[in-house]
C-alpha cells in the first residue's frame, strides 16, 4: 500500500557520499523535529530526472528554504557513487541538495513507490514523487502517473502548495 498524506514514514537508512566515503543516513534522524522535502527519481542520469526533476529543485531551493524547509533531498535507487557523480554533474550538490541512495530499494518498496520497467532496464526503481515530511509525518505528497513526466512532483508545484 502506497504512503499517503498523514502517514508516518517507516524507519529507513540511506547512503550518501561524504569526503570520507559512503555514510549511512537515518531517515528518522534526518526528519526528527524538521521539515524536509524528499523527491524521488527513477534513476540517476535518466532523461527526465536530469533535464526536469533535479533542475526544478535547484531553481526552487532558496524559495523552499524561505518557506521553512530545513533540507531538500533527492532519493534514488542507485548507489552513492553514482549519486555523488550525478549530483556534481547536475549542480544539485552545489545547490545544497542532499543525494540519498536507496540502493536496495528497501525504503521505496516500504512506502509502495516501487515499479519495474524491463524494456527500459529499470528494475525495482522508484516512482517519481515529491513530499514534505514534518517530524517524520508526510504533509504533502505528489506522485506522477508516468516516470517520464515531471509536473506534479516538480519543485515549483510543491512550492505552490506551501
CA angle 85, 30, 55 (to 5 degrees): 40
CB-CB contact of 90 with 50 (8 Å): yes
CB-CB contact of 110 with 2 (8 Å): no
Active-site residue, 74 included:
no
Which one of 30, 37, 40, 49 is the catalytic residue?
Answer: 49
**Could you give phi then psi for residue 52, rounded to 5 degrees?**
-130, -55
Residues tagged active-site: 49
Amino acid at each position: 500500500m502506497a504512503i499517503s498524506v498523514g502517514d508516518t514514514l517507516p524507519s529507513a537508512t540511506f547512503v550518501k557520499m561524504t569526503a570520507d566515503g559512503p555514510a549511512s543516513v537515518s531517515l528518522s534522524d534526518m526528519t526528527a523535529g524538521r521539515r524536509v522535502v524528499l523527491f524521488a527519481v527513477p534513476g540517476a542520469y535518466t532523461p527526465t530526472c536530469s533535464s526536469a526533476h533535479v533542475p526544478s529543485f535547484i531553481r526552487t531551493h532558496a524559495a523552499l528554504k524561505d518557506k521553512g524547509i530545513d533540507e531538500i533531498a533527492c532519493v534514488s535507487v542507485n548507489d552513492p557513487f553514482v549519486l555523488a557523480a550525478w549530483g556534481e554533474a547536475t549542480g544539485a550538490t552545489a545547490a545544497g541538495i542532499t543525494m540519498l541512495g536507496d540502493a536496495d530499494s528497501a525504503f521505496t518498496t516500504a512506502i509502495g513507490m516501487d515499479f519495474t520497467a524491463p524494456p527500459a532496464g529499470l528494475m525495482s526503481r522508484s516512482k517519481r514523487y515529491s513530499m514534505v515530511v514534518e517530524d517524520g509525518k508526510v504533509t504533502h505528497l505528489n506522485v506522477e502517473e508516468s516516470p517520464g513526466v515531471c509536473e506534479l512532483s516538480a519543485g515549483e508545484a510543491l512550492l505552490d502548495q506551501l
